[in-house]
Structure 1
Amino acid sequence: MSQIIPILNFEEGFRARAYIDSEGYPTIGTGFLIGPKGAAISNYTFTLSKNVSDVWLQELIDSKSADMRLNPSIYAALKQCNPARSDILLSMCYQLGVNGLAGFKNTLAMIAAGNFTGAANGMLNSLWARQTPQRAQRHSDVMKTGTYDIYKGLI
């Protein structure tokens, strides 16, 4: 059974009040951009409950999943994935977008071929891994093992 919502809540964090993210965008919930870069945080006075955030998150996940299936290399990889590995590709897509995930050409090809150890190594040999090393390590562990073991006690 998918654990994508708990994984994204852990990886992205949840905030009920608006904040400015690391790129300068007003953001709320589980990383939802709510305004243009540089907008004043005082423009956003509402709060978001965790339950509503999870509903928004599921809507985004469903949309990203559909977009992922339209990309041949991502779809070929998804067909070889169990739920844990699929969740990792979804998390990467949530963070990087479909085009960003599609840029992992060799990694996706290894997943499509069932070479999950090679794919895990490929994930770690990337700019993404250098930028978010702990997340990348957790994600590569799940890709390699096909289990959520690394997240036990975290989600």
Structure 2
Amino acid sequence: MCDLKQFPEKVLPRIRRAEGFSKIPYQCPAGYLTIGYGHNLEHGISAEAAEFILREDVSRVQGEVQNAFIWWTKLTEARQFVLVDMCFNLGLSGLKKFTKMLTALEAGDYETASAEMLNSRWAEQVGRRARENAAMMKSGEWI
């Protein structure tokens, strides 16, 4: 009979070595979409794993936005959030397509920046999210 406390410590290194690590999804030989150390995505992930991934993704996106826009530090926290949220949703290349909004934002014209957010296909697609973000962009306050 195995010692359940010791079992994972003996098993994990062997499975890591046998499976190998992939940070991007791939199809395993059986045809399943797989990631990490052989995790079959058809099994889903736990809420704890999803929370961990979300925190990593938000941290990465915040860094991307901060590095892309030198005027980032002049924004209120709520306006910084709006850019991070849009980047999280659209990707940095998608966010950069909001040229009129970004130009207005850099100039401190938050009313125009807010209007440009709402005057987009993105706003039609995400609805409430866009309206809330536009309101925060305009006011500079969390809602």
| TM-score, normalised by the number of residues in structure 1 | 0.62
**Aligned ranges 1:5-154 → 2 under 5 Å:** 44-49=42-47, 51-71=48-68, 75-149=69-143
The answer as to whether partners of 1:77 and 1:109 remain within 8 angstroms in 2 is no
Instruction: Give the C-alpha shift of residue 35 in structure 1.
Output: 7.2
Instruction: Give the C-alpha shift of residue 76 in structure 1.
Output: 3.7
Structure 2 gaps of 5+ residues are 1-23, 34-39
The change in CA–CA distance for 1:125 and 1:108 in structure 2 (over 3 A counts) is same
C-alpha separation in 2, matches of 1:118 and 1:46: 42
Higher relative contact order (CA 8 A, sep 6+): 1
Look up the SS of the partner of 2:75 in the other structure: coil
Look up the SS of the partner of 1:44 in the other structure: helix
C-alpha separation in 2, matches of 1:57 and 1:80: 26
Structure 1 gaps of 5+ residues are 1-32, 150-155
Identity %: 25
The amino acid across from 1:64 in the alignment is V
Query: Aligned-residue CA RMSD in angstroms?
Result: 2.4
The amino acid across from 2:115 in the alignment is N
The answer as to whether partners of 1:129 and 1:136 remain within 8 angstroms in 2 is yes
The change in CA–CA distance for 1:101 and 1:47 in structure 2 (over 3 A counts) is same
Aligned residue-pair number: 110
The amino acid across from 2:134 in the alignment is S
Q: Rg: which structure is higher? A: 2
Match of 2:8 in 1: none
Instruction: Give the C-alpha shift of residue 130 in structure 1.
Output: 1.5
The change in CA–CA distance for 1:100 and 1:77 in structure 2 (over 3 A counts) is farther
The amino acid across from 1:128 in the alignment is W
The answer as to whether partners of 1:79 and 1:112 remain within 8 angstroms in 2 is no
| TM-score, normalised by the number of residues in structure 2 | 0.67
